[in-house]
Amino acid sequence: MAESKSAHLMLVGEEFEPLTFSVTPELNQQYLYAEEDYHSRYIEQTEAGPPQVHPGLLLNMSNNTRSPSFTLPPGWAEIHASEDTEYLNPARVGKQLRVTWKVLDAYEKRGRRWHVLDILIEDEDGVEILRRRMTNTFSSPELTRERKG
Amino acid sequence: MITRDTRVGQEFSGKAKKLTWERVWAFSGGAFDTPNWPKKNIHTDLEFAQSTGLDRVYVSATQYLGHVTELMIDIFSDGWLRGGELKNARFTRPVTEGDTITVKATVRSKVEEGPITSYALDVWCENQDGEQVLIGTALGEAAS
């Protein structure tokens, strides 16, 4: 398997390796606890189908740090600065979901590297679930020392 | 819940939620059955965070974005999950373990076009000191 390119070096148009995953009832319930949100729509089956996946889970699983190809040098971190989020359809527990990430913009500002990512979650039937446009920057011990002067 | 009769200026508020270590680890530490759970990262482990130059553990912004989504579903019902948009959400102040976050929203504008009434809401999250940690704009439609 080819070595992955460090996230901060990704260029416009490049994509992270997609992530495919299924949400079990147990994983969904873990996020209900994390989010302190126990609405029945996330627990009970209805005429519309299995329980819905909690949006917090979808948001977290679509951070690009979840990509199998995401990597940064030791001591580096990615910092989430802002985003646009569009909810397209509910996701259902048990369905296979696929997340894709594409670099839309990459630039330097105030000594930092910034990335804008287009992120899409689709289910196994091709139903679009969630689209995000996320702006991130990067942190490293060297950069922190420079900024502290 | 928002309706076609909701007025500009109407305020909404979610439940205050304390981001305890347990909830932060449940969100950012990987699945409970992951070996050596919780996974160490900048959201779960002080030593890891400090190794990247951060001075403390910062809660993942997606964790309180989830809180925002909960309030938006309360306001717009399930319709939020079929076309609701959060625009220009900016994380204006770090959130750390132990902070208590409350999501708030105010109706900024409404537009009636035939059977559909579209709303724009100013949305923000406050910490326990009343400081804004997230600001953004929500766009959604009234349930018919």
Q: Delimit the domains of chain B by residue range.
A: 11-19+59-143
pLDDT bin (cut points 50, 70, 90) of residue B142 is: confident
Residue B26 to residue A52, Cβ atoms within 8 A: no
What is the distance of C-alpha B93 from the center of its chain?
13
User: Which H or E run includes B28?
Assistant: helix B21-28
Q: Which of A65, A82, A87 sits opposite B89 (nearest CB)?
A: A82
pLDDT bin (cut points 50, 70, 90) of residue A2 is: low
Question: Token pair for residue A21?
Answer: 């995953």
In this predicted structure, the answer to whether residue B100 has a pLDDT above a threshold of 90 is: yes
Q: How far does A131 lie from chain B, in Å, by closest CA?
A: 10
In this predicted structure, the answer to whether residue B82 has a pLDDT above a threshold of 60 is: yes
Query: In chain A, which residues have their Cβ closer than 8 Å to the Cβ of B22?
Result: 33
Interface ipTM > 0.90? yes
Positive or negative: CA dihedral A12, A13, A16, A20? positive
Cβ atoms of residues B101 and B126 within 8 Å: yes
Query: In chain A, which residues have their Cβ closer than 8 Å to the Cβ of B80?
Result: 87
Query: Alpha helices of A1-149 — where are they, by DSSP H?
Result: 25-35, 55-61, 141-148
The Cα A77–Cα A69 span in angstroms is: 15
Taking only the tens place, the pLDDT of each residue in A22-74 is: 999 999 999 999 999 999 999 999 998 999 999 999 999 999 999 999 999 99
Q: Which of A36, A59, A90 sits opposite B17 (nearest CB)?
A: A36
Interface of B with A (CB under 8 A): 15, 17, 22-24, 26-28, 31-32, 41-42, 49, 51-54, 60-63, 65-67, 69-70, 73, 78, 80-91
Please tell me the predicted confidence (pLDDT) of residue A1.
Answer: 53
Query: In chain B, which residues have their Cβ closer than 8 Å to the Cβ of A90?
Result: 78, 81-82
Q: Which of B41, B66, B88 sits opposite A59 (nearest CB)?
A: B66
Please tell me the predicted confidence (pLDDT) of residue B62.
Answer: 97
| Surface-to-core class of residue A135, CB atoms within 10 Å of its CB (0-12 exposed, 13-18 middle, 19+ buried) | buried
Buried b (16+ CB within 10 A) or exposed e, A91-128: bbbbbebebbbbbeebeeeeebbbbbbebbbbbeeeee
Taking only the tens place, the pLDDT of each residue in A77-136 is: 999 999 999 999 999 999 999 999 999 999 999 889 999 999 999 999 999 999 999 999
For every residue of A17-54, DSSP letters joined together read: EEEEEE--HHHHHHHHHHHT---GGGTS-BTTBSPBPP
pLDDT bin (cut points 50, 70, 90) of residue B26 is: very high
- Of the candidate ranges A2-6, B10-14, B53-57, B126-130, the one whose mean pLDDT is the lowest: A2-6
Please tell me the predicted confidence (pLDDT) of residue A142.
Answer: 73
Rg for chain A, CA atoms, rounded: 17
The Cα B57–Cα B97 span in angstroms is: 7
Cβ atoms of residues A115 and A101 within 8 Å: no
For B55, nearest residue in chain A (alpha carbons): A144
Calculate helix-pair angle for B21-28, A25-35, nearest 10 degrees. 140
In this predicted structure, the answer to whether residue B143 has a pLDDT above a threshold of 80 is: no
Please tell me the predicted confidence (pLDDT) of residue B121.
Answer: 98
In this predicted structure, the answer to whether residue B104 has a pLDDT above a threshold of 80 is: yes
Mutation site for A-interface testing, chosen from B19, B33, B62 by largest number of A Cβ within 10 Å: B62
Tell me which residue of A80, A30, A149 sits closest to B62, measured CA to CA: A80
Q: What percent of chain B has pLDDT over 90?
A: 90
The mean predicted confidence, pLDDT, of chain B is: 96
Q: What percent of chain A has pLDDT over 70?
A: 95
Please tell me the predicted confidence (pLDDT) of residue A3.
Answer: 77
The Cα A119–Cα A71 span in angstroms is: 17
Fold type of domain B11-19+59-143: Thiol Ester Dehydrase; Chain A (3.10.129)
